[in-house]
Chain A
Amino acid sequence: MMHRPLAPSLVFVLVLSPGLGGCGSGAPTIPDELLACGGQSNEDDYPPGPYGAEVGDTVENFRFRGYAQPAASRELSNVSFADFFDRDGSSGVRLLLLNTAAAWCQPCQIEHLDLPRRVEELGPRGLRVLSMLFQDSDGRPAAESTLESWVTTFDTNFPMLLDPAYQMGRYGPADTPPLNLVVDPRDMSILRIFVGNQEGPMWSFVEEELDRRNASR
């Protein structure tokens, strides 16, 4: 049962607890400039909110800077989730995989050793992968040099972007990477959330979903 601390169960707590309290600081004051409305990336052609972080919810349209096609060009450009929104399937996007990575994270690196091969194999069947690198090996916000080193090391062949503000924190905490969201590009809803590099279950799900979507067209 939920219980508020009306009667702490030890006498010594009554003696010591005043020193541990919140000191009566009250609610923090929010500066007016932080209360301004508006989003980061409002595209006209994107499913409207409400947005959420659970299975079935629509992902909010985030925008990142990075390499849109690292295998072809190392030019930095802006990429947003809206670029992969495919309401009627005319762009050939059947499934979208949103991935996060940090340079200090061992499973992220293990996953990226394999991801280019998966993209080669499943890209023609309609899979698009978008990965957001958020921290370097020292835990600092990822910078261009980290991104360059990453795509060179792993021969990345899909959009690899920087997320120094860790916007993807909406979907999973920064201390348990990697995170993989499988998203339906027709309405940008979350189909599955995989915390970690759950290779077997995730690719099994992705392949079955691709088969199903391609068969129904």
Chain B
Amino acid sequence: MAGWPIFRAAHAFWTARGGSSRGRAGRPLPKLGAALAALLSSTLAAAEEEAWQTQLTEQAALIYNGDNRDTRSGDITTKTNDSFSLLNNRLDAQASRGSLVLSLRLDHLIFFSRPDPVRIGLDLTELRTQQGGAGPSEPDDAAFFRQKTFEAGNDLSNRHIDWLIPAKYSASYDLALDATGSARLKSTLGDFHAQFGRGLVLSVRKQDGNDTTIRGARLVTSLRKDDLRLGLTLLAGTGNPLRVDEQSGRYLGVHPKRARGLALLTEAGMPRAIDTDYVPLTEECATSGTCSFVPDELYGAQLEVAPVGVQLSSQASLLRRPETIDQNLVRASRQILTASQGLEVPSLGEFASLYFEGAGQVREPDVDSAEALRKDGYALYGNVDLFYEAVQLSFEGKHYRAFFPLSAGVSVARAREFSPVRYSQVPTTEPVWNTSQFENFNTCVSGGRSRVDVHLGQRASVFAWLGRYDSWAESVANENCVISEDRRNRIWDLATGTELSSADRRSKSVLSVGLRDDVTARALVPGPEGSRVFYREAYCRYDLLFHVEGPYSVQLQGWHRYRNQAVGGPAEPWVAGEHSTALELAPFGNLAFGVEYDTNPLTPDLYFNGQLSYRINSASNLTLFAGQRRGALRCVAGVCRIFPPFEGARLDLTWRP
């Protein structure tokens, strides 16, 4: 009964105050202190009655990167991603006693081998000679060698460096404020995830291998009385993305002398910008080549009120940047205030549910270059689900105008791998695997997607969806979100598929095919043969699991795409895809073989790989991957980024004793 001591302490405080809000005589602060001391001692006394429980999780990845076959003449980035090996060791420790939970995650990165800038300069000089040597007006071999060596040295200055990082740590206490537990107070100091509403205002969580947290303090109170629920969340801290990108070996460095405010505390022990042979460390982050991150200050509040059948939520976040080191519209904003109001009806007459959220955003650009920039934006998002017997109909809609995700304060020029780090996730209404929203598609858009699922008995269902969007920031850079016909892209996205399962549910399949048609209202290519096609795609996806006999199952997974991109990308349509075949031997593990392909001339055509997984116990496993994986080209927010292919091997261990 953890709540009783708290209740007694609260009662002591109430009594000390005279039992009335008018009883302000005396010295309230010492009385408050005494009450808090009583509260603390009584809760600790309660906690002492319980034993400490500990849990360790060890995750280690031993990775070898070979030559990934992407070498291009004069391009050092295609050489700096070859020939390095590392151990990424993550130790998670958690100790709890009663409602008190302490946790610590230590990341230890050790690089065994790394590329050499001089070697890269020599290799690229030799490659150029093999391809015909210097052309007219090109630098001679000596100048070329120096340039490429310097570029490689610059690029490698914040890569492949050993770090021991207190990546995440926290102490949290969940307190029942009354005997029934209907009033609670949960406090966290250190790292925590947070999401308000559907993520328009704040969303800091684990996603796609990124584990961004806020490092600071959070208080969550909740109260349940009869059918009314109330919740209040307050938080403050600095953004804490993972500091090392495993794929590239690059780290995010904070200037050792420029941490200010909250960051002085939260950045203790974190990776710092350093001085190298190629890049000096100056007094300013802006001119230090390895300074790639200025921790953003984040403040947030959310109030939730839930009377019977309805949930109302009001939330706001404030992102403040002590210093800006990137010229992107969002990253160059000193301050961004985002607020929203949400309404959720989880069950509307047992045949529907709905969610609606309206948000506004105000940006304060850096001191200059601000006159012509729009500083505000808004977003409306809604989701309705309808149920009728075997039919489920879902609709997701959005209407965004100059509404931007809260990108973290990283320098894309110095640490491009971290450009996706952000503190909000503006809903796309599209499937999570969709990679066909280009540029600033989602910042100035109207549209939505309807999906219908029809259940044909217990073991079969069919589904189809239709998406329709207008975006004014995909084929033009339109940060101000000016709505006009010559900026408009019209997008249709449709798909259909089926889900089947066997009587014993040990075999199942999901199959789907889809199309995307993205055209502009104007001719994209000038001249009589000008085309309006911006992007087109046809694809199929499948995930088939066949139970063979006893512990044996076979799983086939794949995604095959026919793509055509008029602006940027290859000159001709191309195909890309992947297929894997896995043999599952329950409960011991599985063996899988994969093949990937991509006829985009920027990348090699074929990739082969194999993977062997062994389950040590229900929570521990060992996986060996060897072979090749294709890369990707993504163009978002005015910048293209080539995700390089992988070629090598990795051994992953997850061990929980």
| Interface positions of A (Cβ within 8 A of B) | 1-5, 8-10, 12-13, 16-17, 20-22, 27-28, 30, 33-40, 53-56, 63-65, 76, 78, 102, 104-111, 113-114, 134-135, 137-141, 153-155, 164-167, 169-170, 172-178, 192-205, 207-208
Contacts and interface: CB of A to CB of B under 8 A. Distances in A.
Contact of B274 (A2, A35, A54): A2
B585 interface: no
B283 interface: no
A177 B640 contact: yes
Contacts of A177: 639-640
A21 B111 CA distance: 9
Which bucket holds chain B's interface residue count? 35 or more
A54 B282 CA distance: 11
B151 interface: yes
Contacts of B78: 174-175
A28 B119 contact: yes
Contact of B162 (A3, A40, A170, A205): A3
Interface stretch (B190-198, B223-231, B369-377, B421-429): B369-377
A5 B146 CA distance: 31
A52 to B, nearest CB: 9
Contacts of A198: 327-329, 477, 479, 638
The 7 closest A-B pairs by CB, nearest first: A106-B568, A196-B639, A199-B477, A138-B601, A196-B638, A205-B369, A200-B479
A33 B369 contact: no
Contact of B568 (A27, A63, A107, A134): A107
Contact of B147 (A113, A139, A167): A167
A17 to B, nearest CB: 6
18 contacts: A9-B87, A34-B125, A65-B135, A76-B136, A106-B569, A107-B635, A107-B640, A108-B568, A108-B640, A165-B73, A169-B151, A170-B150, A172-B413, A198-B638, A199-B479, A202-B327, A204-B372, A208-B369
B570 A138 contact: yes
Interface stretch (B137-145, B536-544, B546-554): B137-145
A96 B368 CA distance: 18
Given A33-B142, A110-B476, A114-B476, A55 B286 contact: yes
A39 B155 CA distance: 22
A54 B287 contact: yes
Nearest to A139: B602
A165 B144 contact: yes
A140 to B, nearest CB: 7
Question: Chain B at the A interface: mostly helix, strand, loop or mixed?
Answer: loop
A139 B72 contact: yes
A78 B154 CA distance: 28
B155 A173 contact: yes
Contact of B571 (A12, A30, A105, A137): A137
B332 interface: yes
B351 interface: no
Contacts of A65: 135-138
B602 A197 contact: no
A129 to B, nearest CB: 16
A128 B74 CA distance: 27
Given A2-B274, A137-B569, A169-B76, 10 more contacts: A4-B162, A13-B87, A22-B112, A107-B568, A110-B568, A164-B135, A200-B480, A201-B365, A201-B369, A208-B368
